[in-house]
Amino acid sequence: MNFEFQLPTQFVDDIDDIKRQLENLNLNFQPKQPKTYLSRAEVSKMLNVSLVTLNKWNKSGKLKAVGIGGRVLYRQEDIDNAIVEL
C-alpha cells in the first residue's frame, strides 16, 4: 500500500508566497533602535554653540527640546534632522 498525500495547488502556492515574504522580511528587517536623548550640555558641546544659542534655537523651532522631570533634553534624531547639508 502506497499512500501519497497531495497538497492542493493553492495551499502550495500560499506556502511559497509566505516563504518569499519571510525571506524578504529577513533581508530588510531593521530592529528598532531605542531613542537617544542628550542633555543641553552634550548638545551644546556637540554643535559647538552656547546654551543661550540652544535656547534661541528651541524657541525659534530650529531644534525641538523635550522636558522630562524638569530636565531639558534633545532627541538625537531631532538633532540629526536639524542639521542640513549646504
What's the pTM value of the predicted model, to 2 decimals? Answer: 0.59
Q: What percent of the chain clears pLDDT 70, i.e. is strictly above it? A: 90
pLDDT at res. 41: 95
CA atoms within 13 A on the CB side of 67: 3
Extents of the domains making up the chain: 37-82
Q: Which residues of the chain have pLDDT under 70?
A: 1-7, 85-86
Interhelix angle 51-60/40-47, rounded to 10 degrees, is 100
pLDDT of 81? 87
